[in-house]
Structure 1
Amino acid sequence: MTDTLALVPSGIDTYRQPVIYMTEDCHVCRSEGFAAQTRVRLDLRGRWIIATLNVVKRGEWLEANTAALSISAWQAIGAEPGDRGRFSHPEPPASASLIRAKAYGDRLSEGDFTAIVGDTLDNRLSEIELAAFLTACTGDRLDEAETVALTRAMLAAGTRLDWGMQTVLDKHCVGGLSGNRTTPIVVAIVAAAGGLIPKTSSRAITSPAGTADTMEVMTPVNLDAAELRKVVEAECGCFVWGGALNLSPADDHFIRIERPLDLDSTGQLVASILSKKAAVGSSDVLIDMPVGPTAKVRSREAAVALGNRLREAGRQIGLKVVLHISDGTAPVGRGIGPALEAADVLSVLRRRSDAPADLRARAIDLAGELLQLGELADEGSGRACAEALIESGEAEAKFLAICNAQGGFREPSVARQRLEVIASRTGVLTSVDNRVIARIAKLAGAPRQKNAGVRLNVHPGALVQRGQPLFEIHAETSGELEYAHAYAQAHVDVMKIGEIAS
């Protein structure tokens, strides 16, 4: 069988991209005309995958006539030691021409998006083709009809949970505001009130932490659909990473490309949010939209426009969407990074005197709106009800119960390396650049290193003295700490200090 090779695991993590490694003088490479970055099809026992080929020199670490598979490729094909796989050229992806059409400004139909989503999930599209598609959709390049079409295509490609005729509540923040980790608190409050809130969350895309990253510090989040349902039926809520559930699975492929490119698309954002909300079975969704000069949404007008798009697209797929516009001028809480944000969440739930007041207030506002939306509180009394559930300790108890149902609760830990950044002058802190402070946290290792990030010591409006610590960088290694500190020193205006009013 001249088109087969022995398969071995490479042990190389390529995230969700299947990669195959062959030697440059491999007989399959020569006979099939494979070269570096060629897309190849691998068949094994009735299963197949399409992967990207990397070519290595024989003897470096790979034997001749052997193909090494990345971790994701090995798992996807279900390979076992001793297997031999058959390699061939895959058929060209039918959606490649649709991507080119979109790049030139053509409008795409739901069938077109379905083809692109299908080829994405089959790994028929290369990294370059996926990047081209997402780039062609950036900004406002998807109109309302295309946004709905993409949402439906993404939703149809995965699993959809069904909770019967019950009201199923959900909450989502569009992001762009560091430390705004209200979701765990909101879920605990709503579930304590008896509301059904099966919360699935994403990992960070361009931020130092997503809700799933933060919750993973305290409890397992990689639950499958059966495990999620068991937790929700027992405790009314959950904190689960959506990527493990096959809910709108194409979105995770898109995120993998969007993350390094730091791309933002209004239509893609709407499709990403709503397809996952509909997939988890939500009926009523509250969208938190922070607005500020360095947040993701820069103006109230932009927030209203995005909110209208979300509401209309939601209506067309059967979701009731309510918009909550919030202050996005500065980070929320003290922690920026998974463990640091987890500590803030716990301090609010535990009613500590030093808990971040802004995080507490935001979470209570949002939970109050959801309680009213789900008719768990009378109109106008939602906020008071939410606050009472915090003060009574019921929200904390529900939070711990959900964590225990998911596999147990653990306390956040603290980074080994820490360094303070101090004020160079006396004055009033006037602003914090959300994007720069988030960048510092990411350079320190967040979210990959769960304990890494930034801890804020002051917020806008505070009087600071020269030499006073403004924030503290947390890292797991000295190299990452120095890297983040150097960036902070090069961006001294991350925290602007103005004159004290006379």
Structure 2
Amino acid sequence: MPTLQVRRMHIDTYQEPVIYMRDDCHICQSEGFEAKSRIEVWYRQRRIIATLNVVGTPIIAPGEAGLSEAAWRALGACEGATVGVAHLQPLHSFSHVRGKLYGTPLDDAMAGAIVRDVVAGNYSDIEMATFLAACAGDRMNLQEMIALTRAMVDAGSRLSWKDAPIVDKHCVGGLPGNRTTLLVVPIVAACGLTIPKTSSRAITSPAGTADTMETLAPVKLGIEQIQRVVWDEGGCIVWGGAVNLSPADDILIRVERPLDLDSDGQLVASVLSKKIAAGSTHVLVDIPVGPTAKVRTSAAGERLVSRLRSVGDAFGLTVCGLVTDGTQPIGRGIGPALEARDVLAVLNGATEAPRDLRERALLLAASIVAMGKLIPAAEAQELVQRVLDSGAAWRKFQAICAAQGGMREPPVAGFTYAMRATHRGRVDSIDNRKLARIAKLAGAPKSAAAGIYLHCPVGRAVEVGEPLFTIHAESRGELEYARLYGESIAAVVAVTEG
């Protein structure tokens, strides 16, 4: 096998491993490597698949290959180490993707082969995008959804627990704020149920549950640590990417989100594979519906609920779907630290706590408790409200944070700018997507303190010059970038004159 010495290029290619070779590299020429070739890279017993980028400048010396940050981390080599390089053998599983493009349904064996190759890193982004496109829209029937879910579960680790029921929740997303998980978990755990919550980081949103929780406590725990926390406290809020539960999901989402493909089949497999792998027996799925949410109509929401239930039944998983209001953000903070402060305000019963966040968290928690304890909805609602109002949920949240490594204060942004009403009137609508974009331009979620604080929800009367929302950033440049975008677009927070 041909060999080269490797250099760390310090180039961020997100999660895609990339290898760089010179256009006059003797191995590049003799092996017939071309730009975008898929290359096997070997270091001792470790193997990765990387996409080749060919460079025409002396940034790399003869006999060297550069590695992106993702490739460097995955390979685990040291600077100047000798690595072997070779062409990737043809992917037999991709014939199933081509078949799906032309209408051939996926069975268990086909889905399993595709997912195993995805997890092994054998698929390029283009090949994964082709698979996602082949499954997009309504191109997957129920049996295909079950097959893909099973393949995604089988490709990773699984958690197991001593007692049932094991409850969980998920929100399909598309709604800024809405950080109910950090409230639901301690409420439900304080009610005596077991809720091991593994959550994701943001990919294209201003914050994921794991990002927000990380401003308050560590979230990168191993399987044994997670089990200890759950056994001791009845619940946890951790980053699922650290424990290899349904590992294909994070890989596919990385490609799926920028494509903005709406696919119930992929969403169902994504959500339920993680819950099954986490050992859940009962799951509540929150489906916000609104004109600028991910799910746009109630009919689409109900259709998604039906598919989630049907696939769940195939695995002995009880799934309850709740179609909720997705017309505007939930809470006031958008961004990790700002959302964390909303959560703390609700847990502490502060007078300034967002009422909508509190009420939605109680609704979701009551639904989970009713499902897990097999009690009437009214009794469950009374129980969760008592647990929150008595401070039991706050004490449970503190205990969970301590068990995960210790509680801390969320950071505060150094720079802010208020976007103000230009005329008197009433807030008529809020564009969730535009508001989320401003928060991301301000630096969220990478800058944990960055984001937006929303002052005026829908229905609120405002005067000229009154703040509609305040941009928070950790640098002047990011603040200015977000401000300029916010001022250049219309109807982020639409105020009807009157």
Given the two structures, how large is their TM-score scaled by the length of structure 1?
0.96
1:166-245 aligned at under 5 Å gives the runs 166-245=164-243
**AA paired with 1:35?**
E
The secondary structure found in structure 1 opposite 2:429 is strand
- Residue-by-residue CA offset, 1:321-354 (whole Å, 9 max, x unaligned): 0111211111111011111101100100011011
Equivalence for 2:41: 42
SS of match in other structure, 2:197: strand
> Which residue pairs with 1:17 in the alignment?
16
Alignment partner, residue 287 of structure 1: 285
1:118-165 Cα offsets, whole Å, 9 max, x none, are: 111122111111111112222222222211111111111011111134
Please tell me the residue identity of whatever aligns with 1:52. Answer: T
Alpha carbons 2:423, 2:497 under 8 Å: kept: no
Deviates further, 22-31 or 220-229 = 22-31
* Cα distance in structure 2, aligned partners of 1:125 and 1:282: 30
Q: Distance in 1 between matches of 2:96 and 2:22?
A: 34
Instruction: Deviation per CA, 1:259-292: give whole Å up to 9, x if none.
Output: 3223321110110000000000000001111111
Contact kept in structure 2, 1:7 and 1:84, CA below 8 Å: yes
> Contact 2:169–2:284 at 8 Å: present in 1 too?
yes
User: Is the 1:208–1:337 contact (alpha carbons within 8 Å) kept by the matching residues of 2?
Assistant: yes
| CA distance, structure 1, for counterparts of residue 11 and residue 52 of structure 2 | 13
2-side partners of 1:292 and 1:232: how far apart? 35
- Deviation by residue 1:452-480 (Cα, 9 ceiling, x = unmatched): 11110011111111111111111222222
Cα shift at 1:97: 2.2
Amino acid at match of 2:143: A
Count of matched residue pairs:
498
Aligned to 2:311: 313
Equivalent position to 1:450, from 418, 442, 448: 448
Counterpart of 1:401? Answer: 399
Q: Distance in 2 between matches of 1:240 and 1:136?
A: 32
CA distance in 1 between counterparts of 2:472 and 2:5 reads 45
> Structure 1 stretch 364-373 or stretch 11-20: which is displaced more?
11-20
- Alignment equivalent of 1:331, drawn from 325, 329, 332: 329
Asked whether the equivalents of residues 377 and 385 of structure 1 are also in contact (C-alpha less than 8 Å), the reply is: no
Is 1:410 the counterpart of 2:408? The answer is: yes
Shift of residue 377 of structure 1? 5.4
Structure 1 spans left out of the alignment, 5+ residues: none
Identity %: 53
User: Which deviates the most, 227-236 or 13-22?
Assistant: 13-22
Write the distance in 1 (CA, Å) between the matches of 2:93 and 2:78.
Answer: 32
Give CA deviations for 1:426-467 in whole Å, capped at 9, x if unaligned: 111111111111111112221122111111001111111111
Alignment correspondent of 2:135:
137
1:70 shift after superposition: 2.5
Distance 1:9 1:499, change over 3 A: closer
Cα separation, 1, equivalents of 2:167 and 2:139: 30
Write the distance in 1 (CA, Å) between the matches of 2:80 and 2:492: 56
Structure 1 residue 76 displacement after superposition: 2.4
Map 1:112-123 onto structure 2 (within 5 A). 112-123=110-121
Q: Aligned in 2, Cα 1:58/1:207: closer, same or farther, shift over 3 Å?
A: closer
Measured in 1, the distance between the counterparts of 2:438 and 2:103 equals 37
Q: Which amino acid aligns with 1:41?
A: E
Q: Deviation per CA, 1:473-499, whole angstroms, max 9, x where unpaired?
A: 112222222222222222221222224
1:257 to 255, 258, 273: 255
Shift of 1:378: 5.0
Contact kept in structure 1, 2:331 and 2:357, CA below 8 Å:
yes
Moved more, 80-89 or 299-308: 80-89
CA distance 1:405–1:165, change in 2 (3 Å): closer
Question: Structure 1 residue 47: deviation in Å?
Answer: 2.8
Match of 2:350 among 346, 349, 352: 352
- Cα distance in 2 for residues equivalent to 1:473 and 1:82: 45
TM-score, normalised by the number of residues in structure 2: 0.96
Q: CA deviation at 1:379?
A: 4.4
Give the whole-Å Cα distance in 2 for the aligned partners of 1:191 and 1:72: 37
Q: Distance in 1 between matches of 2:201 and 2:97?
A: 27
**AA of the residue aligned to 1:106:** T
Consecutive unaligned residues in structure 2, runs of 5 or more = none
Alpha carbon RMSD of aligned pairs, Å? 1.6
Query: Which residue of the partner structure matches residue 381 of structure 2?
Result: 383
